[in-house]
Amino acid sequence: MSAARAGRPSLVVTRRLPAAVEQQLTREFDARLNPDDRALSAAELQAALTSADALLPTVTDRLTAQVLQVEPLRTKILANFGVGFNHIDVAAAKARGLVVTNTPDVLTDDTADDAVMLMLMVARRAGEGERHVRAGAWTGWRPTHLLGTKVTGKTLGLIGIGRIGRAVARRAHHGFGMHVIFHDPHPPSPEVVAELGAEAKRTVEEVLREADFVSLHSPATPETHHLIDASRLALMKPSAFLINTARGDIVDEAALVAALKAGRIAGAALDVFEREPQVSPELLTLENVVLLPHLGSATQETRVAMGLRALENLKAFFSGAPPRDRVV
């Protein structure tokens, strides 16, 4: 190892990142990349924590209290690639003196686009239609074929109206003329709410009762675990759809399967799952469900921007400045 190389902080990057990001990380850090893109085991994460100054993890790395207990801990910062950090036990990280950062803002638009795409797909039966054409089953246009649900002008209920929820509200209100209602324990200012054409509701239950489409935009915390359970699903209109681009465990997936099978709601569109990458097998058999493999931020532009944002946080930290996106 050259002297210059030895002088730079060491970094373990847990998954493959876009080439432009890996190049920059390698220029700035003594970076160990993961060209095979295989998820690291708990033991491998611990090996990284004992051998590198910094870790750049993703949502697939479970940085539990047990993993973070490793000795001797060399790592000083967990620069997460992603806005959500529920895969990191932040209390344990704090107790071990670790700084944790995330990558907000840069993925807001893509994730909002994903939610709108899912809403349209499930309402207009796009997945079913695609499967139909690919199966060679299409016999031609007819007035009663694959009729879906109109989106324009309907009521969209948002659970959580942070950055991504607001971007969804903007698209829904200004793009589709939807009436947007929401519940958030920390609502934005009345000016922001007015600009979004949105209406605050006092409870999650009110949103669920009134909405034609319910879209989830809460962070995954102990408070939001199974926020949407059997009793809350039962409050939704039988004609309503559930959309989840936030985190899988906000929804009790077994209860959702039961509600869908019993026809208690009209359908669901999911980008995230309770036990990713496992998907409840029954969901795979239901036509009124759209299933995507956690694609919220999956565009070239945004994945590069996320990587550069993590790099910015790392550079700030190692230059002694406060990282922009410190969460712990």
Interface residues with ligand DGY (CB under 6 A) are 59, 82-84, 107, 296-297
Q: Which is nearer to ligand DGY, 82 or 127 (CB)?
A: 82
Catalytically active residues are: 247, 276, 294
* Closest distance to ligand DGY from the beta carbon of 111 (Å): 7
Contact of 83 with 104, CB cutoff 8 Å: yes
Instruction: Provide the phi-psi class of 105: left if phi over 0, else alpha when psi is between -120 and 50, else beta.
Output: left
In which element (H, E) is residue 182 found? strand 179-183
Contact of 303 with 114, CB cutoff 8 Å: no
* Closest distance to ligand DGY from the beta carbon of 216 (Å): 12
Helix boundaries (H) for the chain = 3-7, 19-28, 42-51, 65-68, 90-95, 108-123, 126-134, 163-170, 176, 190-195, 204-210, 230-233, 253-261, 281-285, 300-318
Q: Which is nearer to ligand DGY, 67 or 265 (CB)?
A: 67
Joined tokens for residue 41 = 């085991």
Joined tokens for residue 140 = 């031609």
* Closest distance to ligand DGY from the beta carbon of 168 (Å): 15
Q: Helix (H, G, I), strand (E, B), or coil: what is residue 224?
A: coil
* Nearest in space to 107 (alpha carbons), one of 245, 215, 221, 231: 245
Q: Which is nearer to ligand DGY, 193 or 292 (CB)?
A: 292
Q: Which is nearer to ligand DGY, 123 or 168 (CB)?
A: 168
* Closest distance to ligand DGY from the beta carbon of 185 (Å): 20
Q: Helix (H, G, I), strand (E, B), or coil: what is residue 11?
A: strand
* Closest distance to ligand DGY from the beta carbon of 270 (Å): 13
**30-32 and 179-183: which strand pairing?**
unpaired
Q: Which is nearer to ligand DGY, 82 or 267 (CB)?
A: 82
Those residues with Cβ within 8 angstroms of residue 312's Cβ, 6 or more apart along the chain or in another chain? 323, 324
Rounded Cα–Cα distance for residues 325 and 89 (Å): 17
Q: Which is nearer to ligand DGY, 84 or 162 (CB)?
A: 84
Rounded Cα–Cα distance for residues 87 and 84 (Å): 8
**Sequence letter at residue 260:** L
Q: Which is nearer to ligand DGY, 171 or 309 (CB)?
A: 309
Which residue of the chain is nearest ligand DGY when measured via CB?
82
* Closest distance to ligand DGY from the beta carbon of 83 (Å): 4
Contact of 31 with 25, CB cutoff 8 Å: yes
C-alpha torsion sign, points 203, 209, 215, 221: positive
Tokens 């107790």 -> residue: 95
* Closest distance to ligand DGY from the beta carbon of 266 (Å): 26
DSSP 323: P
